[in-house]
Amino acid sequence: MIERLYYFVIVGPNDRVLYDLFYPASLSELDWRTSSDASSPTERGGFESHHFVPSIQAVLQFVAYSALDHIDEKLWITSARSLKHVFRFREWSASVHLTPNASTRFVLVHGSSEDAARNVRAFMNAVYEVYVPCVLCNPFQDAEAPIQSQRFHEVAKNLAKRYLSG
């Protein structure tokens, strides 16, 4: 189950979050801490029960933000725009797609197995294709403002469904 959870986030200049999306969508409402069937350590994100147990969403976000530092380092040693597994934490892994100005980054947190990471690059490219006309070219969208576009949100959800549902 945990293999199939995804967290997609667009990070703008100054590391500001412009857009984020949990997939499957139910993940954004579900509270995994209190859910009774989340009793096994794996489902709790690999934390021991006597520790403070963060929600699964918090873990995913944490992995994404940690990945940003690793992206900044990798940026200088590679010319690739799309980097897989830039950062791993327990069973989570983060991949990134850099837009040409490199200050806006698409980060996707996914399970670290190859199976879970299979469609990551295709998903990122597809999102970027929509990002350009819906967000970048929209005259009412500021470079550092959160993305409000309903159109973009709809398409991003559908793309996540198409590429990430396995």
Partner 1 sequence: MSEAPRERLQASQTERNSSEKVPRPVATSAGAAANAAALSKIGEQAFQRGELVNSELAALTYGALVRQLVLDYAHPQQVNEQLDRIGYNIGLRLVDDFLARSAAPPCRSFAASAEIIARVAFRMYLGVNAKVAHIASDGSEYSILFDSNPLAEFAELPEPMKGSLWYSNVICGVIRGALEMVQYSVQARFERDILRGDDCNEIRVSLVRELEERVPTDNEI
Q: Return the number of the residue (1 or 137) whose C-beta is nearest partner 1.
A: 137
Work out how close the CB of 107 gets to partner 1 at its nearest, in angstroms, rounded to a whole number.
Answer: 22
CA dist 81 → 48, 102, 121, 133, 157 (Å): 37, 9, 10, 19, 23
Binding site for partner 1 (CB under 8 A): 129, 132-134, 137-140, 148-151
Q: Return the number of the residue (41 or 133) whose C-beta is nearest partner 1.
A: 133
Work out how close the CB of 3 gets to partner 1 at its nearest, in angstroms, rounded to a whole number.
Answer: 32
Count other C-beta atoms under 10 Å from residue 10's C-beta.
Answer: 23
Measured distance CA(124)–CA(70) in Å, rounded: 18
Q: Return the number of the residue (97 or 110) whose C-beta is nearest partner 1.
A: 97
Work out how close the CB of 67 gets to partner 1 at its nearest, in angstroms, rounded to a whole number.
Answer: 27
What element of type H or E holds 85?
strand 82-89
